[in-house]
Structure 1
Amino acid sequence: MVLSDFHGALDLRLFQLVNRDGGPLLDAVMRALSARAFGIAFGVLLAAVLLARLGRGAARPLLALAIAILLSDLVGSQLLRPLFGRMRPCYALPPGTFRFVGAAANGPSLPSLHASNMFALAWVVAWARPRLGPLAFAVALAVAVSRVYLGVHWPSDVAAGALWGTFAAAAGRAFAARFEDGGLSRRPPG
């Protein structure tokens, strides 16, 4: 796949504001936030909290969560990224003009799937347990910022990821809401 370098002046300026040397401690925190293991562990933890708090009532939110993450990640990686074909800043910018902390796939960057998956998770959790919403959104935002800080995404990649994750969460919630007593509801939506 041939990737294109398309970004605007605002995207570059915002990237430069976030992609600065924060020192070894902040580098380590940002790498940890971007680690696949962190995202999985945080998602499993929130799913466990939903199950513990809602009991049998957790079935619908957990179904919504599974659908949202599947939609966010699968459609994002297999359809949206190839469609946009946008080059990551760590490959688009001249060496020495940015900080590259860690590793990045040499694949498309738009949308950020870290951001989309974390925002999908945050929305579903916030709908199911509003008191957990601020924590879930704070972590989603921190993960999104970490992607820019590490030099692997443009700010618009993570903004698009947050938007895509929001859509995926709404779709997952709408689909899960159609389930009643183990089967699809016969009533029309709305």
Structure 2
Amino acid sequence: MAPHPAAPPRGGPRPALLVALAAVCAALFAAAAVVVAVRHGAPLAPEQAAHDWSAAHHGEPLRSLARALTATGSGPVPYAMAVLAGLLAARGTLGRLRAVACAVVVLAVGQAIRYGLMELLARPRPPQADWAGRVSDYSFPSGHATTAALAAGLLAWGVLHRARPGTARTWCAVLALWALGVGVTRVYLGVHWPGDVLAGWLLATALLALALLAEPFAFRHPGPPRSPDSPSTPTS
């Protein structure tokens, strides 16, 4: 018998809860996007205040630490986390390959959606004179915040399938703190407005909820082929 590649952990979120979470996060993201579009990218007062504070506190060693942490939110690290998530979530070679592929696809699709929205809304970044890091393209939503939240959620999914509940909760908390830290560094380094980071987290959460909803279909196993001579109903 082929092993099930990713049996959901006991006590996992119910579909209704996932639908509600995805809907709420998508609605909040849409509201933030509307505000950005209506204001032509101009920051809100709290965003400007947070940016001004960060620009005035770019001293060492915090700046170097922030740069090191923010670097883990893009490039190969998130994809390595997605691969690890698939390896943890599944059993057997084929199951693991399937889970890894699904996790990488979720991350790649999330990044593609984020990039499309960024180009569509075209929000300018904060003033370049305040940057403490290298950036390109537009500002909303934050690519690092979106990618880190997606990677953290995917790895948490893998851990929840493999580790004991107490250990899994600890790792989920660590992953959440990492994703939170990556997002905060984007504001601290002066390359994003806080709304960009919040929008990235909302977008990632909505996409993760939708991915969890699709998990039973992605890992559904067809029944064994039925012989043409086998009866359709059991006989007594």
Secondary structure of 2:127's aligned partner: helix
| Aligned counterpart, 2:207 | 168
Of the three residues 30, 52, 56, the one matched with 1:16 is 52
Q: Which structure has the bigger radius of gyration?
A: 2
**How is 1:22-101 mapped onto 2 (pairs within 5 angstroms)?**
22-35=58-71, 40-41=76-77, 43-45=79-81, 47-48=83-84, 51=87, 54-56=90-92, 58=96, 62-78=100-116, 80-91=117-128, 95=129, 99-101=130-132
- Measured in 2, the distance between the counterparts of 1:43 and 1:23 equals 31
Using the size of structure 1 for normalisation, the TM-score is 0.76
Q: CA RMSD in A?
A: 2.7
Please list every run of 5 or more consecutive structure 1 residues that lacks an aligned counterpart in the other structure.
Answer: 184-190
The 8 Å contact of residues 119 and 162 in structure 1, kept in 2 or not, is answered as yes
- Measured in 2, the distance between the counterparts of 1:125 and 1:139 equals 12
The 8 Å contact of residues 141 and 200 in structure 2, kept in 1 or not, is answered as yes
Q: 1:60 to 1:138 in 2, by over 3 A?
A: farther
- Measured in 1, the distance between the counterparts of 2:145 and 2:209 equals 16
- Measured in 2, the distance between the counterparts of 1:39 and 1:165 equals 17
| Aligned counterpart, 1:187 | none
Amino-acid identity (%): 26
Query: What amino acid does structure 2 have at the position aligned with 1:137?
Result: A
Secondary structure of 1:87's aligned partner: coil
